[in-house]
Every structure is written in C-alpha cells, then in structure tokens.
Amino acid sequence: MDQRVPSMIHPLLEEYIQWFEHELPGCMAGLYLYGSIALGAFDERFSDIDFLTLLHRRPTPTEVERLAMIHQRLERTYPRWRLEGSYLQWDDVGRFEEEIVPFPYYHDGVLHLAGHFEVNAVTWWVLKNRGIAIVGPAAQDLHFTVDWELLLLKMRENLNSYWASWTRERSRLAHLLTDDGVQWTVLGVLRLWYTFREQGLISKIGAGRYALAHLPARWSPLIHEAIAIREGRQDSGYPSRALRAVEVVRFVRYVIKVCNEERQREAATF
C-alpha cells in the first residue's frame, strides 16, 4: 500500500476491499484517497478517511443496501475511523454536480442512495495532484484535468454564497453554538483565504496555523479555539457559546471582506 497511507488504517481499507468484492464481485474499478491523507495532514484522532470508489456500472438499489451493510460492519469494527466518500463511474471523474447523475455516497454514518457529495474543483484538484490509488491506475494518470483558474473562480463563488450563509441563515447560526460548528466554519473559511493568498491547498489545521501568523492578533483567540476543537480539546476560552458564536460571525464576515478586497486590488493591477 502507498507509504503515505497511515499504517493504522491499512486493516480498515483491506477489509473494505474484501467485503466489497464479496458483496459486489467485479464491480470495483478503482479506489482512491484524497482529503487530509493525500495532503499529508491526517490526524488519527479526528481526521476522516476521504475516499472515492469507482464502479464499472451503476449499482442497483439492492447493491446499495449491501454497500450500507459493508459500512455498518466497518463502523462497528473500526469505530475510531470515519469513511466519507462517493461511488462514481469513470466518466463522472472530474465533472461537477450539474454534469453527473446523482450517485450513492457515504456521509456522517449514512449511505445515501442518490445525491451529490464533494464533486467540486477542490476535490478534483487534490485527487489529480495528490490523490492516492489503492485500487486502479495512479491518480495522476486519470483522464481529466483541473483548471486552476476555474478552481479559484468556483472557490470565490463558494465564499460569497455558502460561507456567507453562515452569517445569516438561522440553521447555520444555530450550529455555531456548537463546537463542531465553530471549528468547521472558522477553519473552513480560512482554507479558502489561504488558497487565494498562497495559490495552494492546505489542511484545515494548517490553514488555522498559517492564519495565526498572518492575520491580526484580534482573531487569534478564536482561531486557537477552532484548532483546539479540531484537535479534540474541549476547554474553551470563551465565557459563553453565544458570545463565541457572535465572534465567529464577525470573523467570517471579516475574512470574506478581506478576500474580496484582495481580489479587487489584483484585478485593478491588470
């Protein structure tokens, strides 16, 4: 197995392949890892195992039930590790939501029969440039390309739609009252800021640590809080969750503003 794959998850991946071949013989065309493992940022305490399984054909509803059973068995056997990923066809790789028929995907402990999950420019860039092949040809040899300028365009759209919604939508504001909501939002928006600034991709914690060195100290307590949550530490430096949530909203608005202003300055130079 590729030396970049942490040894502690080898048994899980091997068992996943064995069960898959037992339940859906001859259906797996490829198995790839991306995300934190591919970026060299896997942490055994909290990182997901982001996977992409390529199939020779679309699975039947019965076969999707078998996939769900496989994941349930793996969750019972390896409760520390969380698989997160999609079941696609070869022709789907490198495409976006509007181009792909809804497909099965496994997320938050549930095997969804059909939908879209992480079929975006970032996923494809990491897969193509850093992806790890467990089964199938090397990720770098897959027949698709990722346009870096298109990736940046998609990320800017995402910044001003999805991430902006965390400052105004009730359900997301409510989620900011939780530890998970804080780390997801603070570190998530920082990953985009890092990409625009450094023209590269980085892990969430990596983006947080980079921000501590490059953003005003005014935001350091919140960034430290998000990193601590992400690393599994539960102690908080805030007197209440409500005050912390308000600070997250201010922070997201600040980062969006900085990103947009930097983009305007860049455009003005051409």
The residue-averaged pLDDT of 16-27 equals 96
User: What confidence tens digit (pLDDT) does each residue in 238-251 have?
Assistant: 999 999 999 999 99
Closest CA to 51 of 41, 36, 70: 36
User: What confidence tens digit (pLDDT) does each residue in 43-59 have?
Assistant: 777 778 999 999 999 99
Give me the residue spans of the domains in the chain: 7-141, 148-268
pLDDT for 121 = 84
CATH code for the domain defined by 7-141: 3.30.460
Judge whether residue 133 has pLDDT over 60: yes
The residue-averaged pLDDT of 181-200 equals 95
pLDDT for 185 = 97
Percent pLDDT > 90 in the chain is: 78
